[in-house]
Structure 1
Amino acid sequence: MYRTHTCGELRNTNLSQQVTLSGWVQKVRNLGAMTFIDIRDRYGITQLVVDEHSPAELKETADKLGREFVIQATGKVVERASKNTKIPTGEVEVVLDSLKVLNAAQTPPFTIEDNSDGGDDLRMRYRFLDLRRNPLKNAMILRHKIAQATRNYLDEKNFLEIETPYLIKSTPEGARDFVVPSRMNPGQFYALPQSPQTFKQLLMVSGYDRYFQIVRCFRDEDLRADRQPEFTQIDCEMSFVDRDDVLELFEGMAKYLFKNILGINMTEQFPRMTWADAMELYGSDKPDIRFGMTFNDITSLAQGKGFGVFDSAEYIGAICAEGCATYTRKQIDELTEFVKRPQIGAKGMVYVRCEADGSFKSSVDKFYSQSDLSAWAAKCGAKPGDLLLLLSGTRKQTLSALCELRLEMGSRLGLRDHAKFAPLWVVDFPLLEWDDETQRFYAMHHPFTSPKFEDLGLFDTDPGKVRANAYDFVVNGVEVGGGSIRIFDSELQHKMFEVLGFSDELAEEQFGFLMNAFKYGAPPHGGIAFGFDRLCALFGGADSIRDYIAFPKNNSGRDMMIDSPSEISDEQLKELAIAVKK
């Protein structure tokens, strides 16, 4: 037996017991007559003692220990003279009778501490060491708990966990596929699934009315903090449901997770906001509603006064930063430079200070009277002591830039507290989006999303105005989940393919198996998928999902630990009938 207890288990109730612990050496402190060793496993840290009466062999072994050595230690639990209230085992220590090195270790390239001295690249290369640190260990434990709680909730709601294939058919819609060559079928390729979409719909046709899966998915797209080429989602589908049925059940799941994982009891119904309102008020389809500062359209109030920038703008929007009229010129210049960054793209920013005496000071005083500025302040609900920040330009670009400015102000004012959660549903998305380059419509979600019934007549007259029976679950400005009610009628699905520019032959080639299944009795159905990695990061109070994935890729899509992707041998290429251009 390598251990009788874990390194986080011993308490005063274990005093005088003979115990055996196994783990890694966190720290060794040799004080001459006595040596103290901190032994660590994933459960915690226990202090070991080699005292002046210990056998010479034991002392010799202790003197040779280094960081991260794997050891087995046996001894008696005693009360610590100098207690450590910062750790659960801090009231006791183990006076050793024997000490065995199970495996010596090289000195790690960075410290295995909560705050490590290793940079990102180094820690990614030695991810197996990084995972020993408490922050990552706690992230893995949180991930496990969320997965288990999700399974418990869905099992109670009569969902079946059913696995779907990883080697599937490639489709050109959406993000790029990862493709896998077939050795047995030279010149043909599988694709790794971007989602189990078609298979979960087929399961509905098969009569499995409540399906879920915590499933790995793959997308070959450019990466950022919240994206990985392979990711995990909680994938769900239900039969004989409408939108409200889906929202109610999965709002219940969200509340269940908040309560059971974080101890937060959410009793009120989550707000529901249309996509149009989200864009108008927040400039984003994933609004952060932890704070206000919503947009105000002052285009009609600000034009026609001789200020060319505003007179030529399609849209002029303003936000009101409460209590910020005291901002210095330096602070305002910082905000101006922020919105002028290439990734935001504003040409500049106008400000209006609402002074304590009721007057106004603005960067455009030359063009606007106190009465004009007062009208802007009234429109924005501003009061003395507040600061108005204005951007202008094309509507789409200005809404996007104003969104970034709002979030920046929220961060500066401490309004984006990671410990506060503000969930909502965003509904009634556009069904289609037009691409100027290819001169065709694309599905905003996917080709199987059902349109709103009341918008069906617009398919023939104005397809761009058709709304989708779709919904996103958003928390703190993060899209955590999304789904829709699906098309289950073959005729309507054919119409959707037609609007998307699919020929009958192409639709049959790519989705004929699904359309054929619909001929045999497809029930009304809908579903949702939650980004599991994002959900874990959100619950953990992190902006990036990377630390909540055991072995993630870097921003170039590389696994630095195993040096992947990599070249394969000529023999393998020959077997796959593939020639590589160099």
Structure 2
Amino acid sequence: MHRYRSHTCGDLREALADETTRLSGWCHRIRDHGGVLFIDLRDHYGVTQCVVDPDSKAFALAEKLRSEWVVRIDGLVRRRPEGTENPEMPTGLIEVYVTEIEVLGPAAELPMPVFGDHNYPEDMRLRYRFLDLRRDKLHKNIMLRGQIIDFLRARMKERGFFEFQTPILTASSPEGARDFLVPSRLHPGKFYALPQAPQQFKQLIMVAGFDRYFQIAPCFRDEDARADRSPGEFYQLDVEMSFVTQEDVFAEVEPVLRGVFEEFGGGRPVTQKFPLISYSAALRAFGTDKPDLRNPLLIHDVTNVFRDSGFGVFAKRLAADPEAVVWAVPAPGGGQRTFCDRMDSWAKSEGQPGLAYIFWREGEEGGAGPVAKNIGIERTELIRQGVNGRLSEFVRLPAPEDQKEEKFPLEIAEPYRELRPVGLKAGDAIFFVLGKPKDIYKFAGAARQRLGEELALSKTGVFEFCWIVDFPMYEWNDDEKKIDFSHNPFSMPNFEHDAFVALDPSDEKTIFGIKAFQYDIVCNGVELSSGAIRNHRPDIMRKAFALAGYDERVLEEKFGGMYRAFQYGAPPHGGIAPGVDRIVMLLAGEENLREIVLFPMNQRAEDLLMGAPSTVTAKQLRELHIRLNLPDN
């Protein structure tokens, strides 16, 4: 027999009854039932109930065992007595009558129990992560992560993509976040950087002629922690393709993402054809470029109803500011004053002056509340009837090849038919936000999301996907008072090429109207990915950077390798990089990446288990020609 085990703790079934077995694992739980000891023995594969009675020569040692001791157990497999079976366990029909125990690894008193699903402070969980990972839920999440990565890798290979590994030590480049810098011993005063993404390398792979690339790529960004992003590193399904249009990228990526959510989503419905929503329409209809389409509510423009109305606060602002608008979010089922006042209090807690509203009551002509009283029955009725607009105003689907320009109605975009608002009636309400669109869209989106949650309007148990497209190429940088890139400087502008190269830098109206071939994938309000068709022509790249205030010297210094490569024949190419961590988080039903990453850092970017970041010796610093200049505090 093997030194440690003949079976795993997940192997044994009724068919093995009356056979001897050897198991090794952790003492998950120990129970004393009238002098008979029951040991739930756990390993990676499962749990087996082991029984030690006073007649066993192993009983004396069994009495000394404690939780999480590692032991080897020999015994006889037998059927559990009738009435004691546990159908919830794969091994629940058998137990092992213990004849011998060997202690392989005693455990000290635990700082936190492994059994159960208790919540413990983050610092304790991370300091003792090896114990935290023994907990069943976390163990399953980590295994799910591995299965998802295997699935993604297999599907990409099936679709003709080849896996490459790109460098980890590279040059620093301005890609939106701080780099992690690595000092060079051989080149004093110079630094490598850990890649924020393999962006330039994967584009160079296309220039080199390899056509279809993917990688489960580690990315490193020195940024503050968020629930959906680790502070130091994360992984993405990095993809790049040559000789493709935006629609070609969509056609390759959609089946992979739809497939992984169908495979691991536990039967939950998944969008079959991802709708396309323009960036500007997303802000206008949902108040965010990461819309949660499970929420059926839309933001509606009711500005004209309030012009010259009796509601002075709105009417005066609209008269004085031609850019001001009034946006409204309907609230089916929210037509009670207590609920409306609660939403108003929430708005104030968000730093807003409040949230105006109208609500409707049974048998009452017109609406209720100060707004309805001031604008009158006729205007109130216009608002009630006027929110029957459809999502088809904002959504389009990819058109067939012979109808590329046609905007399709929502009716073919199942399962989005039910996103059409139902109209307002007694028992409903509507809330209003006043201001310039650029100032109010985020709050309007937050109000939409809050109403969907408070009124239980959002669908559950589904995965709702969409593409966000037509991002603006440029935006105004208010800090530096200049035009700047709004999304990705490597993107191809959706603008006639010769006309783009000839653009006058002072023509700001035209520049701010330029869209780029940039796109995001969003699922249930979570951004899974950004991507773009790349700017592969040096003349267009020079112009794109020049319009943002960067001369050719910046291109040479920061992106020299790629910029030079494009001068020697670069194919049109594009790609995308869905975040693996966020995919796993959605499929595992978790809200924090800590629950699906093996060894995460805390909110302060510290690895409490390994003690990183840590100090280094004076000798190490001398070798790197570094002298510390620490802050006083």
Question: TM tier, shorter chain?
Answer: over 0.9
Q: Which moved more, 1:271-280 or 1:557-566?
A: 557-566
Show CA shifts across 1:376-413 (max 9, x none): 11222322321111122232232111111111122223
- Quote how far apart the aligned CAs of 1:146 are: 0.8
Equivalent in the alignment of 1:486: 534
Equivalent in the alignment of 2:358: 352
Q: Which amino acid aligns with 2:488?
A: H
Q: Which moved more, 1:413-422 or 1:70-79?
A: 413-422
**2:195 equivalent among 193, 196, 218:** 193
Partners of 2:312 and 2:604 lie apart in 1 by: 44
Asked whether the 8 Å contact 1:114–1:135 carries over to 2, the reply is no
Equivalent in the alignment of 1:378: 385
Q: Which amino acid aligns with 1:464?
A: F
Show CA shifts across 1:52-104 (max 9, x none): 3211xx11110110110001111111111211222221111000111111000
When residues 477 and 65 of structure 1 are mapped into structure 2, their CA distance, relative to the original with a 3 A threshold, is same
When residues 26 and 112 of structure 1 are mapped into structure 2, their CA distance, relative to the original with a 3 A threshold, is same
Asked whether the 8 Å contact 1:233–1:533 carries over to 2, the reply is yes
When residues 169 and 267 of structure 1 are mapped into structure 2, their CA distance, relative to the original with a 3 A threshold, is closer
Equivalent in the alignment of 1:565: 613
Equivalent in the alignment of 1:218: 220
Asked whether the 8 Å contact 1:455–1:466 carries over to 2, the reply is no
Equivalent in the alignment of 2:78: 78
Equivalent in the alignment of 2:235: 232
When residues 14 and 359 of structure 1 are mapped into structure 2, their CA distance, relative to the original with a 3 A threshold, is farther
Partners of 1:41 and 1:470 lie apart in 2 by: 47
Asked whether the 8 Å contact 2:274–2:465 carries over to 1, the reply is yes
**Percent of residue pairs identical:** 39
Asked whether the 8 Å contact 2:269–2:463 carries over to 1, the reply is no
Would you say 1:316 and 2:323 are equivalent positions?
A: no
Asked whether the 8 Å contact 2:542–2:551 carries over to 1, the reply is no
- Quote how far apart the aligned CAs of 1:347 are: 1.4
Would you say 1:580 and 2:580 are equivalent positions?
A: no
Q: Which moved more, 1:192-201 or 1:362-371?
A: 362-371
For residues 91-490 of structure 1, the aligned pairs below 5 Å read: 91-228=93-230, 229-262=232-265, 263=267, 266=270, 268-311=272-315, 312=317, 314-325=324-335, 327-329=336-338, 331-341=339-349, 344-357=350-363, 359-380=366-387, 381-416=423-458, 419-454=461-496, 457=499, 459-460=503-504, 461=507, 462-490=510-538
- Quote how far apart the aligned CAs of 1:185 are: 0.7
SS in 2 for 1:566: coil
Partners of 2:376 and 2:482 lie apart in 1 by: 47
Partners of 1:202 and 1:172 lie apart in 2 by: 18
**1:549 equivalent among 597, 610, 630:** 597
Partners of 1:416 and 1:135 lie apart in 2 by: 26
Q: Which moved more, 1:266-275 or 1:556-565?
A: 266-275
Asked whether the 8 Å contact 2:271–2:465 carries over to 1, the reply is no
- Quote how far apart the aligned CAs of 1:115 are: 1.3
- Quote how far apart the aligned CAs of 1:117 are: 4.6
Asked whether the 8 Å contact 1:346–1:398 carries over to 2, the reply is no
Q: Which moved more, 1:164-173 or 1:111-120?
A: 111-120
Partners of 1:417 and 1:47 lie apart in 2 by: 41
Show CA shifts across 1:463-503 (max 9, x none): 11110101111100111111010011111111111112112
When residues 480 and 509 of structure 1 are mapped into structure 2, their CA distance, relative to the original with a 3 A threshold, is same
- Quote how far apart the aligned CAs of 1:281 are: 0.2
TM-score scaled by length of structure 2: 0.88
TM-score scaled by length of structure 1: 0.95
SS in 2 for 1:442: strand
When residues 498 and 117 of structure 1 are mapped into structure 2, their CA distance, relative to the original with a 3 A threshold, is closer
Q: Which moved more, 1:364-373 or 1:176-185?
A: 364-373
Show CA shifts across 1:19-73 (max 9, x none): 1111111111123431111111122211100023211xx1111011011000111
When residues 451 and 117 of structure 1 are mapped into structure 2, their CA distance, relative to the original with a 3 A threshold, is closer
Asked whether the 8 Å contact 1:143–1:536 carries over to 2, the reply is yes
When residues 303 and 465 of structure 1 are mapped into structure 2, their CA distance, relative to the original with a 3 A threshold, is same
Asked whether the 8 Å contact 1:480–1:535 carries over to 2, the reply is yes
- Quote how far apart the aligned CAs of 1:372 are: 1.7
Q: Which amino acid aligns with 2:62?
A: A
- Quote how far apart the aligned CAs of 1:416 are: 4.2
When residues 463 and 117 of structure 1 are mapped into structure 2, their CA distance, relative to the original with a 3 A threshold, is closer
Asked whether the 8 Å contact 1:428–1:468 carries over to 2, the reply is yes
Partners of 1:194 and 1:427 lie apart in 2 by: 23
Partners of 1:259 and 1:4 lie apart in 2 by: 36
SS in 2 for 1:278: helix
What runs of 5+ residues in structure 2 fail to find an aligned partner? 319-323, 388-422
SS in 1 for 2:260: helix
Asked whether the 8 Å contact 1:456–1:466 carries over to 2, the reply is no
SS in 2 for 1:324: coil
Equivalent in the alignment of 2:408: none
- Quote how far apart the aligned CAs of 1:267 are: 7.3
- Quote how far apart the aligned CAs of 1:505 are: 1.5
Asked whether the 8 Å contact 2:334–2:340 carries over to 1, the reply is no
Asked whether the 8 Å contact 1:111–1:117 carries over to 2, the reply is no
Show CA shifts across 1:311-336 (max 9, x none): 315121111111221x352x333322
**Aligned length, in residue pairs:** 576
SS in 2 for 1:542: coil
SS in 2 for 1:345: coil
Q: Which moved more, 1:386-395 or 1:271-280?
A: 386-395
Q: Which amino acid aligns with 2:348?
A: K
Partners of 1:33 and 1:548 lie apart in 2 by: 40
Q: Which moved more, 1:392-401 or 1:276-285?
A: 392-401
Asked whether the 8 Å contact 1:110–1:117 carries over to 2, the reply is no
Partners of 2:528 and 2:214 lie apart in 1 by: 16
Q: Which amino acid aligns with 2:493?
A: P
When residues 483 and 456 of structure 1 are mapped into structure 2, their CA distance, relative to the original with a 3 A threshold, is farther
Would you say 1:504 and 2:552 are equivalent positions?
A: yes
SS in 1 for 2:539: helix
Q: Which moved more, 1:303-312 or 1:428-437?
A: 303-312
When residues 138 and 493 of structure 1 are mapped into structure 2, their CA distance, relative to the original with a 3 A threshold, is same
Q: Which moved more, 1:433-442 or 1:231-240?
A: 433-442
Partners of 1:25 and 1:242 lie apart in 2 by: 57
Equivalent in the alignment of 2:28: 26
Q: Which moved more, 1:170-179 or 1:103-112?
A: 170-179
Q: Which moved more, 1:292-301 or 1:565-574?
A: 565-574
Q: Which amino acid aligns with 2:384?
A: A
Equivalent in the alignment of 1:67: 67
How big is the alpha-carbon RMSD for the aligned residues of Structure 1 and Structure 2? 1.7
SS in 1 for 2:123: helix
When residues 117 and 438 of structure 1 are mapped into structure 2, their CA distance, relative to the original with a 3 A threshold, is closer
